[in-house]
Structure 1
Amino acid sequence: MTDQMHSSLQAYEQLLQAEFQDSLDEELEMELDDARMDGLIARAEGGVPLQPGDLPRRTYFSELLRLQGELVKLQDWVVHNQLKVVVLFEGRDAAGKGGVIKRVTQRLNPRICRVAALPAPNDRERTQWYFQRYVSHLPAAGEMVLFDRSWYNRAGVEKVMGFCSDAEYEEFFRSVPEFERMLVRSGILLIKYWFSITDNEQNRRFLARIHDPLKQWKLSPMDLESRRRWEAYTQTKEVMLERTHIAEAPWWVVEADDKKRARLNCIAHLLSQIPYDQVPRAQVQLPARVYNPDYLRMPVPDSMLVPSRY
C-alpha cells in the first residue's frame, strides 16, 4: 500500500468515526435530558438514589443502537415490499410514549416513517364521522405511520373529561373493531401499544415537569386534571382494553416505569411483529465531480454570515 493510499484510508476512517460520534451525540443529548429529569425527581423526593436495577448506560446505548440498525433494515423492507404499517402509541400522560417514538424515528427517513400527533378536533371536525380525520393520515404503500395518541382518545380522555356523550362512547366501541378489521383487510399492519405506568411514577414525572422550565410546556390544565382523575382513567383504560382487544389488532402492554427498558422492549417487540429481512442494495459509486473552467464561485458577503459564536 502506497503512502498516499494509506493516508486516504486513514482520512476515510476518521470521517466514519466522526459521523458515528455525531450520531451518538444525538442520543446523548436526549440521554442527558433524561438524566436532568431524574435529578429533578430525586431532589423533589429528597435525594432518592438510583435503584439497583437501573439499566447500565453502556448496555442501554449498545442495545438501542443495535435495535435502531434493525429499524433501518425494517424501513428498507417496508419500502421494498410496499407494506403499509400503522403503530398506535397510547397511555397516560407522562407514560413515555413520546420518548419511544423519538427513538424509533431517530435514524429513519421521515418521508417513509412519519408521526401523526393530531390536536383536539376543530368545530368542523366535530361534525364529521369520528374516524374521518384519522383516515387522511393512514399510510400509502411503502410507509409507516406512528400515531402519538389516536382514535382511542374517545375511549380515554373524551370519556373521562365528558367531551363525548354516552351514546357516542358506546357507538365508538361498536365501530372501532369493524374499523380496525377493515384497515387490516385493506392490507394495513396495525400494531397497538398501551404504555402502563404506576400512580407513583406518574406523580414523580409530573413533579419533575413542574420544576423543569424546559418541560413545563408539557403540563396543560388537562394533564393536571387527568392526575386528579387517576382512578377514572384506570377504569376507562380497563374497559377499552377489554372491548377493543381483537384478534386482528390486539393490544400490547408496555411496562413503562423504567423509561429505558420500556424503549428497548417496545422497539424489540415492534421488530418482532413484522417479519423482515435485509434488502440487497446495489453498490453505490460516487460520480466524479464535474469541473468547468469558466465556473467562478461568488464570495458570500460578510453581512449574510451567521456569527461564529461557538
Structure 2
Amino acid sequence: MEFFRFSRDIPFMSWRRVAAVISISTFILSVFFIATRGLNFGVDFTGGTVLEVSYEQTADLNRIREILAGMNMTDVTVQNFGTSRDVMIRLPVIPEYSSAQLSETVLDALREADRTVEMRRVEFVGPQVGQELLENGALALLFVSLGIVAYLAVRFEWKFGIAGIIANLHDVIIILGFFAFFQWEFSLTVLAAVLAVLGYSVNESVVIFDRIRENFRKLRKIPVKDVINNAITRTMARTIMTHGSTQMVIISMLLFGGEVLYYFALALTIGIWFGIYSSIMVASSILILLGVKREDLLQPEEKKPENDGAVV
C-alpha cells in the first residue's frame, strides 16, 4: 500500500539547470567558509581540556570569561549547554599544567566567585592524539568515498559511480560549510555523522539508480530524462516515508539528547535533507551531463534476420 501516490511524473530534470546554480552556489560558499573561517575543531582533534560545571542559578558567562582571562588563559571557549545553569569550558593545552591541575585550578577560581559551582565532567585529549584522530578521520572519509565509487561502478556503470560520489561529496562539503560558518564544534561524533550521511545518501542514490536501470528495460521508447523523471517519481513515496521517520528520531535527539548528541543530530539533519536533494537533482543531473544511455546498462537487442523462419 502506498501512502503517497503520484498520478503523473514530476519533471525534475526540467529544473536541473536551476538546481545546478543552487548546488554550485552553495558548494562555493561552503568551500569559501571552510577556507576563510575554518572548522571549529573540538578537543578530540586539537587537544586540550573540557570542563563541564553546573551552577544553582543562571550562570554568568561573561563573569566566567573574566575570571579565566584574569588567569592569563587565552583561546578559551565558554558556553551554555543543556540549561542556562550548565556551562562548558574548553581550554587549550597549557604545558605548565596537567589536566588534573588545570581543572582544579579553574574550579578553585570559579568557586571564589560562586561557592555553588560544581564540577560535572573533565575530559583531556593530548595534542598528538588529536592530530592522529584528525588524520584517521580524513582517511576514513577518503576510503569511504573510494568504496562508494567502486560499488556503484560495479553494480551499475562508471557514470553512476561518478555521479554518486559527486552528489555525496556535495553533501559533505555543505555540512562542513554549515559548521564553518556558524563555528559549531566539530568533534568525533560529528565526523561519525558525516560518515553516516555518506552511507545514507548513497543508499538513496542506489534506490533511484536501480529504478533508472529497471526503467531502461521497460520504457525503451522515451527519452532518458523522462526515464529518470519516472524513476525519481516512483521512489518519492519511499523517500518521504524513510526520511520522514528517520528525521523524527533525529529531532528527538536534537531536543532531548543533550550536548553530546546535539551536533551529531544537527549534522545528520543537514546531511539527510541535502542528501535527498542531491540524490534527486545532483546525481541524476550529472548522469544526463555524462550522457548516460540504455546501452550503458543493457545489451542492445539483436535484430532477427529477415529470412528468419522462412523455408528455402
| TM-score, reference length from structure 1 | 0.22
Which structure dedicates a bigger proportion of its chain to helix?
A: 2
| TM-score, reference length from structure 2 | 0.22
